Amino acid sequence: MRPLIAPSILSADFSRLAEEAAVVSEGDGGADWLHVDVMDAHFVPNLTLGLPVVKSLLGATDTPLDCHLMIDDPDRWAPGYAEAGVHNVTVHVEAAKNPVMLAKDLRAAGAKAGLSIKPGTPLEPYVEILKHYDTLLVMSVEPGFGGQKFMPDVLDKVRTARRLVDTGHLTLLVEIDGGISADTVEAAAEAGVDCFVAGSAVYGADDPGRAVRALRDQVVSAAPHRWAP
């Protein structure tokens, strides 16, 4: 396993999504996942895109989609993304009414199930729930807008999650989203992250594909005990 880099299309050109997906995914060192932020202007104060656009993107790329649903009532809406063919569907613990049943529904529909927590949400009350999930997405900014500054305090939650995984209490990927760049990715790697979501650090670069490879190289260098062959 190598560290996963998931460019966030929130920072891409929405008028050219197929091309923007391709430019970060080419070659062996390309993106592992494409991160898709779905916002409903209710759970978060911004509105982005929904299932119809996700279905179009699924038809335009072979790179697995990692859909982060920042929406109300994910129990109702999230399974549709799994049924459409999304690889990993992440919901917020703050919004889910029955997160255990929702994880089962997502898996039954063919997707990996992800659970996200906001920066101010503690991890410990949800450890038992996380036993039903495949991914923990730790938000390192307040959800709702791209381009925010990384919040280093959340790395304590990453370290806790890493310990729980390494000791066998949980079996999941630890993912981080928010402010990930060349300046912050090494601290996240050292804390124990497996999957790194990066928006402007990738799509704001002159060569987005090279930016993906550079971030992965930084992760490997920062935590060689985990990633070195």
Residue 53 parent element (H or E)? helix 51-58
Residue 30 parent element (H or E)? none
Instruction: Indicate if 177 belongs to the active site.
Output: yes
Contacts of 12-20 with CB under 8 Å at 24 or more apart are 12/203, 13/203, 14/49, 17/53, 17/56, 17/57, 17/60, 18/57, 18/60, 18/61, 20/203, 20/208
d(CA 191, CA 213): 20
Q: Please pick, among 37, 40, 66, 134, the residue that the annotation labels catalytic.
A: 37
Residue 173 parent element (H or E)? strand 173-177
For residues 85, 88, 94, 97, the Cα torsion angle rounded to the nearest 10 degrees is 50
Instruction: Indicate if 37 belongs to the active site.
Output: yes
3-state secondary structure labels for all residues of 83-123:
HHCCCEEEEECCCCCCHHHHHHHHHHCCCEEEEEECCCCCC
**Structural contact between residues 46 and 37, judged by C-beta atoms closer than 8 angstroms:** no
Per-residue tokens: 224: 């060689």
Q: Please pick, among 40, 66, 134, 177, the residue that the annotation labels catalytic.
A: 177
Amino acid found at 75: D
**Structural contact between residues 202 and 165, judged by C-beta atoms closer than 8 angstroms:** no
Residues annotated as catalytic are 37, 177
